[in-house]
């Protein structure tokens, strides 16, 4: 019997497995690298073992040594990193440990997506033809480059022009190597629109294979899922599709002698025809929606099967609807740029359970961060998964959107507004979801802030009045006198803020004998104020605003929408001004390569510097036509956000000299 489990992973999936282990009375062991030394998953475990190097999670020998040193008798791989590496699975078993995963042969068979597709085709499962990257023709475009050894969008590229293929293949190989330790990639026909539908399977070693319901994961960015749900709206619409999907999934599992939890992924069209994409021989990020609609604890069942246990002849029936949103530290409006830095506060109101099962309607939160967590540039930028459950799909979507909108996220920028806008979009509510959702409905519109212009203006006022209350509460003399109060009329006090779009908001106010004067806010009066809470009466309606400040950053939360400001000082620092044509690092990262030398002529939009951040490549392009006049970095160098990487002098400036 398993008595102590080491989770060969980090963040929320490690915490998720630990939560089930605690419910089962099983001991837990965490592994961590230096960037994760203060991570919540480390604090959650009974024992912790440090791994050398930032890529320690990919070092099988270190992980197995950690298990031995800590007295663990089983290893759970989570997802990502070594979870689908057959050599790691074999090494765990050879070390005399229980592998909480499928047989090595099954991991090996499905670990190569190239070989997996061949096996599925031989077993009668419909597949898309695999294409050799070196032999793709113009007539086969567009194609999708995919990493053979992993998923999650790493190593994926869409290519529409044959001339771009070699460079994109090389970039995909680099990403695949960094994420999975294997640079192998392949191509297949790219379906611009479709439905990403997958089947959760669970099998024991005694011949029972469950198809535990399907999930739809069509809302994606960069080929990575961000909203998943169970059951699938498409499958609900197409008579008989579920039975065909389940048969194909069980057929796939049986063909490789599968045991444990796994997922068979398909791409489907609007008519219900589907093709095998891949089989993930591990737990999926989106497994909570299946748990919500079945009442099963999939991690507990993984451990049960690994211990040799039997499954019941049939899985429990599904009921209700569940939707999961992945909250990422990234900026969708800026090409999904990942963000790094401190997360001052993270609070999801009305949370029903954390890492647990639902008793009824509610919100579940699976997260790897807490107040004060540092979001590292070295790993995936997902902060949390927020999951809803309700009897109807519309109710589940509304419940999740409301929970996200009310979540207090102070610190790094996230995709929260995008998620809420998608969940409230009429097309999503109607179940019209496919992989082209952002192209169809416009990323700019879907990325729009939840707070409208009027809310931003009121939030700036709340920030100013909370600041005034803070000044009064910390004053050494006359602390009870209103801020700026004079016996005689005086000028208005002024505070200035910049929102995340860079717009300036100036707030004027004056405390007088007759009360607070607000010359720029008709119909608004102050009901109460404190350093962290302001209540404004707006056209007869009381509106509460919570205010939090961290240095120059101010976060205002209200039912009208969250707003972030930066305090603008009265006098700017001349040394902070950037020279025209400067290229700055949009995120912390490592310089991978440089595409030009000082003195080279460059054109606007030409990639000049490649950065690696959170296992993804990002390009920094020339802002204008001109000459590369300055280059401040070299390959391998680590840079912080805002670092001036280079400078391009435009041609007009050059000729003027």
Q: How far apart are CA 270 and CA 133, in angstroms?
A: 29
Query: Phi, psi at residue 130, to the nearest 5°?
Result: -80, 140
Q: How far apart are CA 396 and CA 388, in angstroms?
A: 6
| Burial grade of 25 (CB within 10 A; 0-12, 13-18, 19 or more) | exposed
DSSP designation for 597: -
pLDDT digits (tens, 9 = 90+) for 478-495: 555 555 555 556 688 999
- Quick one: tokens of 218? 């069509």
Q: How far apart are CA 208 and CA 351, in angstroms?
A: 35
Q: Can you give 513-529 as a three-state secondary structure string? A: CCEEECCCCCCEEEEEE
Does the structure show a pLDDT above 80 at 191?
Answer: no
Residues of the chain with CATH 2.40.50.100: 575-656
Residue range 210-238: mean pLDDT, rounded: 95
Strongest mean pLDDT among 105-119, 448-462, 583-597: 448-462
Does the structure show a pLDDT above 80 at 113?
Answer: no
Looking at the domain 129-189, which fold is it? Dna Ligase; domain 1 (3.30.1490)
Domain 4-100 coded CATH 3.40.50.2000 = no
Torsion sign (Cα): 249, 250, 251, 252: positive
Helix or strand holding residue 326 (H, E) = strand 321-328
- The pTM of this model reads 0.87
Least confident of 112-126, 233-247, 289-303, 392-406: 112-126
- Quick one: tokens of 405? 């909108």
Q: How far apart are CA 9 and CA 340, in angstroms?
A: 20
Residues of the chain with CATH 3.30.1490.20: 129-189
The superfamily CATH assigns to domain 320-448 is: ATP-grasp fold, B domain (3.30.470.20)
| Domain 575-656, CATH | 2.40.50.100
pLDDT in the model for residue 486: 57
Residues of the chain with CATH 3.30.470.20: 102-120+194-317, 320-448
pLDDT in the model for residue 15: 98
pLDDT digits (tens, 9 = 90+) for 23-68: 999 999 999 999 999 999 999 999 999 999 989 999 999 999 999 9
CA 291, distance to chain mean position in Å, is 20
Looking at the domain 453-567, which fold is it? Glycoprotein, Type 4 Pilin (3.30.700)
Residue 277's alpha-carbon distances to 127, 190, 372, 437, 480, in angstroms, are 7, 11, 39, 20, 68
Percentage, residues of the chain above pLDDT 70: 95
Tell me the CATH architecture of domain 102-120+194-317.
Answer: 2-Layer Sandwich (3.30)
Residue 239 DSSP SS3: coil
**Closest to 218 in 3D by CA, of 177, 163, 266:** 266
Buried b (16+ CB within 10 A) or exposed e, 573-602: eeeeeeeebebebbbbbbbbebbbeeeeeb
pLDDT digits (tens, 9 = 90+) for 78-92: 999 999 999 999 999
Beta bridge partners of 354: 365
pLDDT digits (tens, 9 = 90+) for 307-360: 999 999 999 999 999 999 999 999 998 888 888 899 999 999 999 999 999 999
Mean pLDDT (the chain) is 91
Beta bridge partners of 325: 227, 386
């Amino acid at each position: 019997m398993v008595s102590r489990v080491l989770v060969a992973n980090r963040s929320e999936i490690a915490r998720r497995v630990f939560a089930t282990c605690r419910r089962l009375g099983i001991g837990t062991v965490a592994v961590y690298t230096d960037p994760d030394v203060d991570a919540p998953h480390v604090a959650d475990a009974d024992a912790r073992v440090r791994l050398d190097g930032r890529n320690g999670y990919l070092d099988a020998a270190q992980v197995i040594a950690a298990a031995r040193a800590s007295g663990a008798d089983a290893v759970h791989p989570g997802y990502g990193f070594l979870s689908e590496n057959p050599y790691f699975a074999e090494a765990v078993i050879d070390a005399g440990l229980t592998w909480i995963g499928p047989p090595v042969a099954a991991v090996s068979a499905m670990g190569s997506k190239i070989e997996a597709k061949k096996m599925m085709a031989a077993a009668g499962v419909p597949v898309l033809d695999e294409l050799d990257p070196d032999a793709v023709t113009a007539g086969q475009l567009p194609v999708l480059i995919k990493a053979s050894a992993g998923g999650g969008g790493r190593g994926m590229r869409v290519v529409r022009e044959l001339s771009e293929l070699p460079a994109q293949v090389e970039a995909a190989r680099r990403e695949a190597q960094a994420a999975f330790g294997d640079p192998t990639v392949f191509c297949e026909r790219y379906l611009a629109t479709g439905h990403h539908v997958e089947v959760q399977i669970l099998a024991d070693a005694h011949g029972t294979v469950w198809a535990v319901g399907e999930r739809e994961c069509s809302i994606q960015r960069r080929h990575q899922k961000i909203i998943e749900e169970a059951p699938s709206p498409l499958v609900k619409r197409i008579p008989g599709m579920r039975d065909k999907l389940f048969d194909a999934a069980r057929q796939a599992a049986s063909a490789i002698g599968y045991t444990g939890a796994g997922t068979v992924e398909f791409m489907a069209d609007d008519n219900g025809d589907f093709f095998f994409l891949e089989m993930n021989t591990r737990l999926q990020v989106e497994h909570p929606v299946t748990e919500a609609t079945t009442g099963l604890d999939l991690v507990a069942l993984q451990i049960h099967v690994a211990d040799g246990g039997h499954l019941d002849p049939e899985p429990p029936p599904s009921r209700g609807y569940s939707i999961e949103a992945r909250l990422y530290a990234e900026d969708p409006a800026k090409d999904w740029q990942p963000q790094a830095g401190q997360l001052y506060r993270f609070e999801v109101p009305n949370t029903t359970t954390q890492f647990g099962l639902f008793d009824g309607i509610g919100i579940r939160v699976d997260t790897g961060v807490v107040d004060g967590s540092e979001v590292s540039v070295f790993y995936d930028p997902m902060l949390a998964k927020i999951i809803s459950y309700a009897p109807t799909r519309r109710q589940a979507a509304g419940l999740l959107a409301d929970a996200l909108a009310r979540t207090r996220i102070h610190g790094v920028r996230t995709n929260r507004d995008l998620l809420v806008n998608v969940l409230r979009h009429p097309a999503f509510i109607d179940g019209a979801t496919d992989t082209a959702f952002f192209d169809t409905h416009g990323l700019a519109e879907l990325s729009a802030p939840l707070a409208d212009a009027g809310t931003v203006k009121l939030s700036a006022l709340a920030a100013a009045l909370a600041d005034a209350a803070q000044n009064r509460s910390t004053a050494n003399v006359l602390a009870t006198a209103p801020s700026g109060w004079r016996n005689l009329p005086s000028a208005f006090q002024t505070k200035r803020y910049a929102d995340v779009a860079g717009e300036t908001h100036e707030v004027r106010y004056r405390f007088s004998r007759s009360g607070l004067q607000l010359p720029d806010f008709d119909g608004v009066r102050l009901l109460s104020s404190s350093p962290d809470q302001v209540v404004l009466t707006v056209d007869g309606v009381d509106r509460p605003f919570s205010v939090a400040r961290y240095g120059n950053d101010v976060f205002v939360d209200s039912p009208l929408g969250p707003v972030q400001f930066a305090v603008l000082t009265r006098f700017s620092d001349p040394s902070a001004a950037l020279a025209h044509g400067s290229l700055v690092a949009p995120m912390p990262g490592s310089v991978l390569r440089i595409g030009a030398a000082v003195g080279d002529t460059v054109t606007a939009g030409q990639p000049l510097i490649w950065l690696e951040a959170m296992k993804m490549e990002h390009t920094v392009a020339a802002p204008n036509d001109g000459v590369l006049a300055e280059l401040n970095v070299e390959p391998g160098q680590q840079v912080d956000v805002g670092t001036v990487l280079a400078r391009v002098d435009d041609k007009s400036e050059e000729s003027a000299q």
